[in-house]
Chain A
Amino acid sequence: MHRIPSGTRDVLPDEMRELRAILDAVRGVFEAGGYGEIATPALEYESVIARGGGGASRPAYRLFDEQGNVLVLRSDMTIPIARVVATRYAHAEPPLRFWYAAAAYRGVRPQRGQPRELLQAGIELVGAPGAAGTAEALTILCQALDATGLRGYRVGVGDAGLYRGLLDRHGVPEDARVPLLHELVTRDFAGVERELARLSIDAAAAEALLRTPQVRGGPEVLGEPGAEELAGLHALLPPAVAERVIYDLGLVRDLGYYTGAVFEVYDPALGRPLGGGGRYDDLLGRFGRALPAVGFALGVESLHLALTGEERG
């Protein structure tokens, strides 16, 4: 047998037809929304991509070109598009709207069925600040999912700056935050509880810092301290989008560049999120054109799994 690397796959015609139907459906929504398709090279210079920061956005595959430059395989499309905006659209009037369907490359852990190469479809909305920009991205997201025929999905929406704001409000010292944020990012609430017990803060503050990141639900949770930004977003969402949203005050994503609203797409037919995104208002500035931006990416293969799962019931 001639093997292919674990986490990669050949797509044969039966499956390809179904993937193509998904791509056609989302493309229709993106184009109708005024988004233009964009393609960038799978290979980029490491020094350029490194401006995007750490987390899961860090590339996993490196190689050398003929001159000894270090090249990487892109791990998402957001950073390459930030580069394109800063270089090819340096003087263009915002907002700029792009969509893509492209392969991204990730490192995998052995024996877990994780993809090394995954097909992503998504948008980037550049130069549309604040809640209005986020509301547009969420609207396009829901329209795209509706167009594929997915029925049971919900969109978790959180705020990447929320927990830091709470730590400020309750006067948690800087050096005590690192272990606390580590427990939160690794989603260990027993660990959060343990770290809070070590701090010399009053019981009400500790209770708030433990409870708030576990609060999730409909608009009724937006009265919580720290949820003001999300309440502002909610006011701008059309009803068809708002009814899909689960506000999640503890939502964190492991990409390094998010600054405000963050989102994840869930479907009861799949045990993991099938896509996500958020605001990244600082990323473009690192490439020399400071513009606020928001975007999302859907894992097309995950979306396909969720659709077939819903079909089976």
Chain B
Amino acid sequence: MSLTIAVPRGTLFAATLDRLDALGIDTAEVRANDRKLLFADAGVVTVRPSDVPTYVEAGAADLGITGKDVLMEQSERDVYELLDLGFGHCRMVLATLAGPDPAAEALRRLGTMRIATKYPRIAARYFERTGRQAEIVEVKGSVELAPLTGLSEGIVDLTASGVTLEQNGLVVREEIAACTARLIANPVAHKLKAAEVDRVVERLRGG
């Protein structure tokens, strides 16, 4: 039985393909082809990182690779998280404009702060856990714009280098979580294709 692996297009793409090469999967066709999505010979489907858990949970892919940020945001997905792959290091942070912290001031004077994010569930859980009231504003892209335009006092977002935050005059106030790429499995494939799944886990752990 061969495995189908859901591979995330985007920042984790190149490092993921390098790991698949090490497994002996021929990724040349995947690398050469920007538009194609299904690579039946290699057993690879390429999807958005946030869609990886969807494909894996439904069993449309047996295994998947995606960021911990995606798994935290979709924590109700019924998938097995098998391995921390150790690449794609990022931090989930709370950031606000440099200078006196506008979010802290809003919280003190208005009782709540407005937080823009692509990760509404991670943000809501974090403020709940730390005992603060926050109004979560969900945006789909360019979160850094929100505090600059007055849409929100702060943002919760993923940052690797911090350069984008800095260029927009934002500073990290709190770190919520450290995120890396993870290997996930469909619960049924984890049982019915146990030997194949374990072989992938062992090789990825070694590499």
Which chain B residue lies CB-closest to A153?
Answer: B192
A154 CA / B191 CA spacing, docked (Å): 9
Q: Name A246-287 residues within 8 Å CB distance of B.
A: 246, 248, 264, 266-268, 270-273
Known contacts being A271-B57, A271-B59, is A187 close to B192, with CB within 8 Å?
Answer: no
Shortest CB–CB separation between residue B100 and chain A, in angstroms?
A: 36
A253 CA / B18 CA spacing, docked (Å): 36
A272 CA / B192 CA spacing, docked (Å): 11
Residues of B within 8 A of A216 (CB): 190-191, 194
Interface 1/0s, chain B 62-105, versus A by CB < 8 A? Answer: 00000000000001101111111000000000000000000000
A268 CA / B191 CA spacing, docked (Å): 10
A266 CA / B59 CA spacing, docked (Å): 12
Asked if B37 CB lies within 8 Å of chain A CBs, one says no
Q: Are B188 and A190 in contact (CB under 8 A)?
A: no
Asked if B182 CB lies within 8 Å of chain A CBs, one says yes
Query: Counting chain A CB atoms within 10 Å of each CB, which of B60, B76, B192 scores highest?
Result: B192
Which chain B residue lies CB-closest to A251?
Answer: B191
Q: Is the interface of A mostly helix, strand, loop or mixed?
A: mixed
A47 CA / B183 CA spacing, docked (Å): 42
Q: Is the interface of B mostly helix, strand, loop or mixed?
A: mixed
Q: Name A140-188 residues within 8 Å CB distance of B.
A: 154, 156, 186-188
Known contacts being A154-B192, A266-B192, is A273 close to B187, with CB within 8 Å?
Answer: yes
Q: Are B188 and A187 in contact (CB under 8 A)?
A: no
Known contacts being A217-B194, A246-B191, is A272 close to B59, with CB within 8 Å?
Answer: yes
Q: Are A273 and B80 in contact (CB under 8 A)?
A: no
Shortest CB–CB separation between residue A238 and chain B, in angstroms?
A: 21
Number of interface residues of A (CB under 8 A): 24
Which chain B residue lies CB-closest to A274?
Answer: B188
Q: Are A266 and B58 in contact (CB under 8 A)?
A: no
Shortest CB–CB separation between residue A71 and chain B, in angstroms?
A: 27
Q: Are A190 and B191 in contact (CB under 8 A)?
A: no
Asked if A109 CB lies within 8 Å of chain B CBs, one says yes
Asked if B117 CB lies within 8 Å of chain A CBs, one says no
Asked if A189 CB lies within 8 Å of chain B CBs, one says yes
Shortest CB–CB separation between residue A307 and chain B, in angstroms?
A: 16
Residues of A within 8 A of B192 (CB): 154, 246, 266, 268
Shortest CB–CB separation between residue B178 and chain A, in angstroms?
A: 11
A186 CA / B59 CA spacing, docked (Å): 18
Residues of A within 8 A of B79 (CB): 187
Residues of A within 8 A of B78 (CB): 187, 272
Residues of A within 8 A of B198 (CB): 214
Q: Are A271 and B60 in contact (CB under 8 A)?
A: yes
Interface 1/0s, chain A 181-212, versus B by CB < 8 A? Answer: 00000111111011000000000000000000
Asked if B46 CB lies within 8 Å of chain A CBs, one says no
Residues of A within 8 A of B83 (CB): 189-190
Residues of B within 8 A of A217 (CB): 194-195
Known contacts being A189-B81, A189-B82, A190-B83, is A271 close to B194, with CB within 8 Å?
Answer: no
Which chain A residue lies CB-closest to B185?
Answer: A187
Asked if B152 CB lies within 8 Å of chain A CBs, one says no
Query: Can you name 11 A-B residue pairings with CB atoms under 8 Å?
Result: A187-B80, A189-B81, A191-B81, A194-B84, A216-B194, A246-B191, A246-B194, A248-B191, A270-B59, A271-B59, A272-B78
Instruction: Report A's interface with B, CB cutoff 8 A.
Output: 109, 154, 156, 186-191, 193-194, 214, 216-217, 246, 248, 264, 266-268, 270-273
Instruction: Report B's interface with A, CB cutoff 8 A.
Output: 57-60, 75-76, 78-84, 182, 186-192, 194-195, 198
* 11 additional contacts (CB under 8 A) given A194-B84, A216-B191, A267-B188: A109-B76, A187-B78, A214-B198, A217-B194, A217-B195, A246-B192, A246-B194, A266-B192, A268-B192, A270-B188, A272-B57
